[in-house]
Structure 1
Amino acid sequence: MSTPISDTFGDQLRQMRSDVLAQLRAQRGGRIGRAEAAAEARDNVGDDWAQADAERDLSIALEERESAELVAIDAALKRIADGSYGLCVDCGVSIATARLHANPTAQRCVACQDKAEHAQGGVNAPKM
């Protein structure tokens, strides 16, 4: 992939990373850690423990999703740095620029992604 295009995606990925980190900080009530945020939430609950547990579960799920997104962003930035960004990690062909615009962290071309999802029982796998 050419340097100007890699730079464009690099800028987009760095902005995405910054946004995800800001979301994580906001969920935690600033710069406090997960344990402190959970304790603070428990203190503010009152008697509605069921709602508190549901909110905690949702918060953990969101944090796990955002953590996975950070890992994907960092991996994409590493691929930019080593010159392999935009190449499918499975077959080595160029990933369509439109796909990268839609998902800058994409590691695979559409064909290989489809195969990977089928192998993992993903969203496109036939229902049994």
Structure 2
Amino acid sequence: LEGFMDALAKEVAPLGIRVSSVQPGAFRTDWSGRSLQRSDKRLPAYEDHVHGRLDMIAEMDGKQPGDPVRAAKIIVDLYAMEAPPVQLLLGAGVLAAYRNKISALQADLARWERLTLAADFPVDDADGSGG
């Protein structure tokens, strides 16, 4: 989705259209409380990841660090910005998660750089002529 939003923002910018993708962290709303609908059936294959995550979300209810009123104001203020961010993270938790993601991506880039570059023509044959 991030890539799509980046491409969309570039595509419609010449038309004067601004694109922002807001990516919120945990906000103190009823989303993780009584509004959270869960099935009684728990599949063992999903126990660790999905069910564990749902349990964590339910336990966080009422303790989320994000203030939905402040977030709403920021989102409304995006409209008035001349050059709003294409992607806006809201909240400390999502910022920390993205920093971890960036670190993991950098490690993957370093780990697989040789294989990545192996797809190019050799430097001495950059035109692909074989000679």
Give the TM-score of the pair, scaled to structure 1.
0.32
Q: Give the structure with higher Rg (CA).
A: 2
How does the TM-score come out when normalised to structure 2?
Answer: 0.32
In proportion to residue count, which structure has more helix? 1
As a proportion of its length, which structure holds more strand? 2
Q: Which has the higher contact order (CA 8 A, sep 6+)?
A: 2
